[in-house]
Structure formats: structure tokens, C-alpha cells
Amino acid sequence: MATNQEKNKQLLIKLLERPGNGSCVDCGAADPEWASYTLGVFVCQSCSGLHRNISQISKVKSVLLDPWSDAEVEFMASNGNDAAKAKYEQKVPVFYYRPTHTDCQLLREQWIRARYERKEFVCVERQEPYSAGYREGFLWKRGRDNGQFLSRKCILSERDGALKYFNKHDAREPKALMKIHTLNASFQPGKIGQPHGLQVTYLKDNSTRNIFVYHKDGKEMVDWFNAIRAARFHYLQVAFPGAHHADLVPKLTRNYIKEGYMEKTGPKHTEGFKKRWFTMDDRRLMYFKDPLDAYARGEVFIGSKENSYTVLPGLPPSTQGYHWQFGITIVTPDRKFLFTCETEEEQQDWMAAFQGLVNRPMLPQEYAVEAHFKHKP
């Protein structure tokens, strides 16, 4: 005869089959095996660890391995993931970034805290830090030449259409003015070496400029990120009147398609191959001497097959001067670009990234970007 514990375990497994409970309530990962028995939600193992940081609100157990009381199982049955979303996500702004299981820990933890601890999406006034259209504060910014992080005053103003930073706290003129319409932000804790590290990019004379910032307070950094998304959203609403929110949201910020080291050679294909850090930012393939360089050494536009762009494995037979064995040739209307990867797996990953772009038809605005590349010195 089944014990009470076994019955409870079977009831919990049945609850996981209910609509909404089959994926983590916080990040959407499939088949959650943990639960918060004080919030009544099912979560993945990774998010269960983040719930332990708010133990005054959320207490977690393994669905399969921990003992469950009848009252706890009844509470889970009367709540569940869909009910929690209806309660805690009533007023999530359309621009607010909802992390997935592939996002960094900072984004996922602050999403959890924003909902259950701060109740930001029940009380709209708590969204002021990223919804006001203006944000001012100090961030640690990496120096372009010496790599030191120094405190810099930053102002994001929707009215001015720009994010600015100042080298001196009392300076009247900003050191840099980043127009909202070319702005992007992406969390890069590993690359920057800071758990709250954010990479901000913008276009300056049609070349990408990188700025690396962080703040010791995780909430502060995620608020900056969502303030940038809000500013971008309001800019795009004006730029594309009548566009559906669903079409604008993917354009607010973007993560890079792929990053990593490859070797490359020059346009004559006679120079030795040099190791460079590559970043695939949509159709812009940029290469840097160091991952934290402010400016790319060069940029390559990757168009579509309809416009005579192709990606081939390997290198032309006459190629010399490379160390890594796994080659890639990108053919553009103007020239061939030759790259090598350290491993076959890296080669396959880069090929898949390039092929995805080549297979995607170009949008009208992408033709304008391509034209700028053709006129670059």
C-alpha cells in the first residue's frame, strides 16, 4: 500500500501536468523539478537557488526528493504557475525584459525579486526608476586606454534622445553622447569580469563604439538596462507609428548572435593570419584585438544569398600562413574573407551563425547599412 508521502509525490507529479506548470514560472525552462511551497509555483533547479536569496518570502523543495505535507500539496494545488503570473505580473511594462533560462543570473534574480519581493508589477509607482523617461546616476566605466574602472556620471534622457556620460562630476559637456536610435545594451559579466557588467554600444560615424559599465548594486544595473529599453521603445513608437508592440519589442536590445576567437588574414590573402576576437551583432561581424576594446579593428557586413553572399567551409587551396585548421570562407559581392577556427565544433557554430544570416532575406533598412559599409575607407 502506498504511503502518504508517495501519494503526495504522485499528486505533485500530476500538478506538473496542469497547464502552465510544465515550465519554470521564472525563466520558462522545461520540466521544473522544484517548487516554492510558500508562493505555490514550480521552478527549475537554477531558479530555485535564486529563490533561496529571498527565503523570507519563498521556501523551496524538490518535488521528487523532499518530504511534503498534505497542507503544502493542497497549497500547490490551489495556486500554480498561471495563478502566480496573474497575481504578480499584472502590470509588467511591454518594454521590460523578461529573462529566459539562457540569460545571466543577474537578470533572472532581479526578475524574481521584482515580482515577489518588490511587487513592482502590482504597484506601478515602483516602476519609476526605469519608466520615468529620465535617469541619472553614477556607474563604474572602463577606461578606453588603461582598462581601469572609474566612477562616471551618466544621464539617460528620452527628451534629449540620448545617453550621456561625463568624465568629471561637475562637467557641463558630456564626454560622449550616445543617440538612443543606435543604442544597444547587453549583459556581459564573463567578458567584463564583473557580475553586473553591461556592454553598451552605439554608432559613431557609422562604426560601433563599445562602453563597458557596472554597478555594485544588481537592481541598479537592471534598472539602467530597462530604462534604456524603455527609451528605445518610445523612440521606435514614434519612428514606426502603428507598429505592433510584438514587432517593436525584439528591436529594443539584442544579444550577440555569437562571439569568440578566430584567425583572419588581410584582403590580399598573403599576410599571416592573426588571432582576433569576433562579435556577430546581427549582420555586423566585428573583430577586435582584445574583447574589451572600445572600437573594432574592422567590420564585415553579412548580407543574404539573394545579394551574392555565401558561406563556405574551408579555405581556397593556395592559402598559407594559418595556424588553426578549420577554415571558413565568406564570399561577399566585393571580396572573400578568410577565417580559421581552433576546433571543428567552433567552425560548425560560426558556420551555422553565418548561414542563418545568409538565408534570411535583407530588410530595406539593412540595404542602407550595407551601402555604408561599401563606402567605408
- The verdict on 244 and 140 lying in the same domain is yes
Give the per-residue pLDDT at 377.
41
CA–CA dist 159, 295 (Å, integer): 28
Give the per-residue pLDDT at 37.
97
Residue at which a domain ends, from 185, 220, 251: 251
pLDDT at 375 over 70: no
Residue 350: CA count within 13 A, CB half-sphere: 30
The CATH code of the domain that includes 266 is 2.30.29.30
Residue at which a domain ends, from 39, 67, 89: 89
**How many beta carbons lie within 10 A of that of residue 82, not counting itself?**
14
pLDDT band at 207 (very low <50, low <70, confident <90, very high): confident
Three-class SS of the chain: CCCHHHHHHHHHHHHHCCCCCCECCCCCCECCCEEECCCCEEECHHHHHHHHHHCCCCCEEECCCCCCCHHHHHHHHHCCHHHHHHHHCCCCCCCCCCCCCCCCHHHHHHHHHHHHHCCCCCCHHHHHHHHCCEEEEEEEEECCCCCCEEEEEEEEECCCCEEEEECCCCCCCCCEEEEHHHCEEEECHHHHCCCCCEEEEEEECCEEEEEEEECCCHHHHHHHHHHHHHHHHHHHHHHCCCCCHHHHHHHCCCCCCEEEEEEECCCCCCCCCEEEEEEEECCEEEEECCCCCCECCEEEECCCHHHCCEEEECCCCCCCCCCCCEEEEEECCCCEEEEEECCHHHHHHHHHHHHHHHCCCCCHHHHHHHHHHHCCC
Give the per-residue pLDDT at 2.
62
The CATH code of the domain that includes 29 is 1.10.220.150
- The verdict on 267 and 369 lying in the same domain is yes
Mean pLDDT of 164-173: 90
pLDDT band at 1 (very low <50, low <70, confident <90, very high): low
Give the per-residue pLDDT at 271.
86
**Nearest partner of 93 among 331, 252, 282, judged by Cα:** 252
Q: What is the pLDDT of residues 309-334, one digit of tens each?
A: 999 999 999 898 889 999 999 999 99
pLDDT at 305 over 90: yes
Q: Is residue 244 part of a domain?
A: yes
- The verdict on 150 and 189 lying in the same domain is yes
CA–CA dist 36, 29 (Å, integer): 16
Residue 342 makes CB contacts below 8 A (sequence gap 6+) with 261, 324, 326
Looking at residue 62, its amino acid is S
Query: Cα-atom radius of gyration of the chain, to the nearest Å?
Result: 24
Choice between 258 and 146, residue whose per-residue pLDDT is larger:
258
Give the per-residue pLDDT at 154.
97
- The verdict on 144 and 83 lying in the same domain is no
Residue at which a domain ends, from 189, 220, 251: 251
Residue 212: CA count within 13 A, CB half-sphere: 22
Give the per-residue pLDDT at 205.
85
Q: Lowest-confidence range among 165-169, 258-262, 275-279, 356-360?
A: 165-169
Mean pLDDT of 149-154: 96
**pTM of the predicted model, to two decimals?**
0.93
- The verdict on 232 and 275 lying in the same domain is no
Mean pLDDT of 251-266: 96
- The verdict on 199 and 274 lying in the same domain is no
pLDDT band at 373 (very low <50, low <70, confident <90, very high): confident
Mean pLDDT of 346-361: 97
pLDDT at 171 over 90: no
Q: Is residue 199 part of a domain?
A: yes
- The verdict on 222 and 267 lying in the same domain is no
Mean pLDDT of 175-187: 96
- The verdict on 151 and 192 lying in the same domain is yes
pLDDT at 374 over 80: no
Looking at every residue in the chain, the average pLDDT score rounds to 94
- The verdict on 246 and 263 lying in the same domain is no
Q: What is the pLDDT of residues 33-78, one digit of tens each?
A: 999 999 999 999 999 999 999 999 999 999 999 999 999 999 999 9
Q: Is residue 94 part of a domain?
A: no
Q: Is residue 83 part of a domain?
A: yes
The three-point CA angle 351-354-360 to 5° equals 135
Q: Is residue 175 part of a domain?
A: yes
CA distance to 6, 78, 357, per residue, from 63 (Å) = 11, 16, 42
Measured between alpha carbons, how far apart are the two ends of the chain, in Å?
Answer: 80
Q: Lowest-confidence range among 29-33, 43-47, 196-200, 263-267?
A: 263-267
- The verdict on 297 and 200 lying in the same domain is no
Give the per-residue pLDDT at 365.
86
- The verdict on 266 and 246 lying in the same domain is no
Give the per-residue pLDDT at 368.
86
pLDDT at 208 over 70: yes
Q: State what percent of residues in the chain have pLDDT above 90.
A: 88
Cβ atoms of 211 and 200 within 8 Å: the answer is: yes
CA–CA dist 184, 130 (Å, integer): 16
Q: Lowest-confidence range among 37-41, 90-94, 206-210, 311-315?
A: 206-210
- The verdict on 53 and 162 lying in the same domain is no
CA–CA dist 45, 108 (Å, integer): 13
Domain, as residue range, for 54: 4-89
**How many beta carbons lie within 10 A of that of residue 345, not counting itself?**
10
CA–CA dist 259, 170 (Å, integer): 37
Cβ atoms of 76 and 85 within 8 Å: the answer is: no
* Chain length of the chain: 377
Q: Is residue 108 part of a domain?
A: no
Number of domains present in the structure of the chain:
3
Q: State what percent of residues in the chain have pLDDT above 70.
A: 98
Phi, psi values for residue 341, rounded to 5°: -115, 155
